[in-house]
Structure 1
Amino acid sequence: MNFQHTEDRRMLADSLNRFIAEQYAFDARDKIARSEEGYSREMWQRFCELGIIGAFFDEAAGGFGGDGFDVSVVFEALGRGLVVEPFLDALIVGRALAHAGNAKQRGIIAKLIDGATIASFAHDEPGSHYERARVSTRAARLGDGWVLNGAKGVVQLGEHADVLLVSARTSGGEQDEAGISLFVVPRDAKGVTLRGYRKIDGGRAAEVSLDGVKLEADALVGTEGGGYAVLTHAIGYGLVALASEAVGAMDVAKEHTLEYLRTRKQFGVPIGTFQALQHRMADVLLEIEQARSAAINAAAAVGESGVARERALSAAKYSIGRIGARVAEESIQMHGGIGMTWELPLAHYAKRLVMIDHQLGDEDHHLARYIKLGRASLA
């Protein structure tokens, strides 16, 4: 299999990396991440003008990409810049709507691409422990429409979203895959309450309460009770995005650490000449290349279906979680005390790497999922 990026992807990556380096340097990013909004609407619009979100979708959905590697090149660049704007949710929500949405819902994709709309993915719930099928939020028929009741947690930039993609159970038990449905919910719908808070790695998220939220019939995405398959499709692309973002962040952490080892002196010589630190740094470099391979494997598999796809995605997320934590720890330790200071960009990359592990399932969850899928395939 040829893993070389096409010329179009290389051009996209070059343009995005250049824009981030010139317009989204660390000081600017830090100011945005610590702002009351947790992101910059102006910067979001400028990113969208580059056509970044169009890379997430194929031509039928109004984009110009849609392949796993299109997603990968974008998020690797975003990871290098620690970008806090809501690209991940635009990807997941957009892929769900492209996969199963009606004509009205698919129209949202065009608004995502041009930056006119911000969407948030509202699936995780308190106590769900990353289990994709554990949905307690309920949706019941009300005339020709629906009424939703429940709660969602850690909804990225939920306060600023124009629409929420909400999972709710229309039938079955709390952990059944069958019976989960998806709904497009306007953020300002009556009965939607949001409590926003700042995240430790920058930006904001929100807890969402749904109290008797009434929706029209066309708010349902796909078929009633068929939402789990749509979630699996869309979250798969989210896992590719997170794996690629982590690789980008690891590369920057590596570069900063190498530069520090070359310039920091002790006993009159650069500390990078010490054999113990050389060995540790060599181990880190090997681990990062393993993470890169796992991300490439996930990007290659995400367009497929079945157990092989899901195992590749879980393997990548497990690898990223484990390696990301090690890169963060080793980079900080080799910097010494200065590695923990807020003013040093490295500390922010370390935080982001740790938090990536907790999005869409941590390493323990995906290791268990990988093993379970393997056993199921042998049964």
Structure 2
Amino acid sequence: MNFDFSEEQQMVRDSIARFVQDDYDWDTRRAIVASDTGMSDKAWQTFAELGWLSIPFAEEDGGFGGNIVDTMVIMEEIGKGLVVEPYLPTVVLFGGLIARAGNEAQRNAWIPSIIEGSTSGAFAYVERQSRFEIADCLTQAKAAGDGWVLNGEKVVVFNGANCNQLIVLARTSGEQWDREGLSLFVVAADAEGVNRVDYPMMDGQRVANITFSDVALNADALLGEAGTAMATVEAMIQEATIALMAEAVGCMGTLNAKTLEYTKTREQFGVAIGSFQSLQHRMVDTMMAYEQAKSLLFKVVCEYKQDPASADASIHALKVLIDKNAKLVYGEATQMHGGMGITDELDIGHYAKRLMMINTTFGDATYHRAQFMDKAYAA
């Protein structure tokens, strides 16, 4: 099987790498995270100008016509640079749901504005009681005339602090745990009755808890057919999980490279610590953990590209493996850097924090291990 990237994919990879090197160094990133919004509008417009926001969308919608491989390339480079701008929430999740479930009018209304950088989106689906079970939904949308009235609360909404549009998962029929009866609605973030409380996570990403109090929605706010959203949401989360794992692999690779370089320069007993055999063995272990995770990511991407349904079990396995291997990589990186490895001034600890947050997004290792075993026994 050919694992080489196409010329276009390599160009995208190189352009993001140059952007991180030239315009997104560690001090710049720290200043962005410390700002009121926790992201850079200037950087986001650069994403738009360079065409990165258009890549996953179909050509008929104004996009580049990319696939999961293109998304993997972008997200891995984002992971290497610890980029905090909301590519995953806006392009992969919000834009992906519009592309999957929206009619022609809705795609024409939103996808071009995502591509040009004017629409910043978020997917509001997590509730306080739901943990990793997406179908556990208490937020309700009730029919009212030609439209809907939305009530409920969503928590830990990625990019919820800065988005101007939301896609909200709400129950239009059925009971709290029912898979049927869930629907998707596009909601303006500044609509009357929408209240946001934003806060930073430990990795610097800004999220929000959002309440909806009698929010009036037009009929065209409904995305797809009422009551049938769960299949679309699960398919989208599957794709977003692969994207997130690509970001994790990018983080792990950079941690390994930075730690290896550090062992060549830090001296103890008059010699570089990289000359100690025990540390060499530990660096080999972390490199093997990274390569193992990268190999399984490639396997999953190939499976998903051929048939998304067939990749389900492998995606669960990938989530479990990256949780395990990432802990080894960031644990050793932190230890080898010593006390400075956990300081705010050094980037090592921030890569570790990002990996910790990635490991809890879309389900932790315990959740995905159980899902994998269920599918294995069912087979």
Normalised to the residue count of structure 1, the TM-score between the two structures is: 0.96
Matched letter for residue 83 of structure 1: V
- Could you give the per-residue CA deviations for residues 166-219 of structure 1, whole angstroms, max 9, x where no partner exists? 001112222222111111010011111100111211131100001111101111
| Structure 1 contact 236–302 (Cα < 8 Å) conserved | no
Q: How does 1:187-226 map to 2 (within 5 A)?
A: 187-226=189-228
Alignment of 1:109-120 (within 5 A): 109-120=111-122
Deviation of 1:104 (Å): 3.1
Equivalent residue runs for 1:44-63 within 5 Å: 44-63=44-63
CA–CA distance in 1 between the matches of 2:172 and 2:163? 24
How does 1:244-263 map onto structure 2 within 5 Å?
244-263=246-265
Match of 2:106, as an amino acid? Answer: Q
Tell me the equivalent position of 2:150.
148
- What do residues 206-239 of structure 1 show as CA deviations (whole Å, max 9, x unaligned)? 0000111110111111111111111122112211
Aligned to 2:319: 317
Aligned to 2:21: 21
- State the partner residue of 1:343: 345
Match of 1:102 in 2: 103
The 3-state SS of whatever aligns with 2:262 is helix
152-161 or 245-254, which deviates more: 152-161
Cα distance between partner residues in 2 of 1:374 and 1:115: 42
C-alpha separation in 2, matches of 1:65 and 1:297: 22
Aligned equivalent of 2:94 = 93
Aligned counterparts of 2:70 and 2:27: Cα–Cα separation in 1: 28
Q: Which amino acid aligns with 1:92?
A: L
Q: CA deviation at 1:304?
A: 5.1
AA paired with 2:242?
V
Q: Which amino acid is the alignment partner of residue 184 of structure 2?
A: L
2:296 to 294, 297, 301: 294
Aligned counterpart, 1:6: 6
Q: 1:320 to 1:65 in 2, by over 3 A?
A: farther
In the alignment, which residue of structure 1 is the partner of 2:231? Answer: 229
- Number of aligned residue pairs: 377
The answer (yes or no) to whether the contact 1:257–1:334 under 8 Å persists in 2 is yes
Distance in 2 (CA, whole Å) between partners of 1:174 and 1:304 is 35
Tell me the secondary structure at the aligned position of residue 130 of structure 1.
Answer: coil
Match of 1:365 in 2: 367
Aligned twin of 1:134: 136
Task: Pick from 305, 326, 342 the counterpart of residue 328 of structure 2.
Answer: 326
- What is the distance in 1 between the residues matched to 2:168 and 2:303? 26
Instruction: Report if aligned partners of 2:89, 2:159 keep a CA contact under 8 Å in 1.
Output: no
* SS of 1:206 mapped into structure 2: strand
What CA deviation, in whole Å up to 9, does each residue of 1:7-37 have, x standing for no partner? 1100111111111110111110111012111
The answer on whether the counterparts of 1:298 and 1:313 sit within 8 Å (CA) in structure 2 is yes
Provide the residue aligned with 2:188 in structure 1. 186
Alpha-carbon RMSD across the aligned residues, in angstroms, is 1.3
Cα distance between partner residues in 2 of 1:59 and 1:360: 29
Q: Percent identity?
A: 43
Deviations 1:142-187 (A, max 9, x none): 1111111111011122132110010011122222221111110100
Q: CA 1:130–1:305 in structure 2 vs 1: closer, same or farther (change >3 Å)? A: farther
Normalization by structure 2: what TM-score? 0.96
Is the 1:44–1:115 contact (alpha carbons within 8 Å) kept by the matching residues of 2?
Answer: yes
Cα distance in 1 for residues equivalent to 2:25 and 2:281:
31
Cα distance in 2 for partners of 1:40, 1:18 equals 17
Counterparts of 2:322 and 2:13 in 1: how far apart (Å)? 21
Alpha-carbon distance between aligned partners in 2 of 1:152 and 1:7, rounded to the nearest angstrom:
41
- The structure 1 residue matched to 2:356, chosen from 346, 354, 357, is 354
SS class of match (1:357): helix
Cα distance per residue 1:252-296 (max 9 Å; x no partner): 111110011111111111111111111111110000011101221
In structure 2, the CA distance between the partners of 1:296 and 1:306, relative to structure 1 (3 Å rule), is: closer
Q: Does the residue aligned with 1:332 lie in a helix, a strand or coil?
A: helix
Q: SS at 1:347's partner residue?
A: helix
AA of the residue aligned to 2:175? G
| CA distance in structure 2 between the aligned counterparts of 1:373 and 1:217, rounded to whole angstroms | 38
Q: Which amino acid aligns with 2:104?
A: A
Unaligned runs of 5+ in 1: none
What SS does structure 1 have at the residue aligned with 2:142? strand
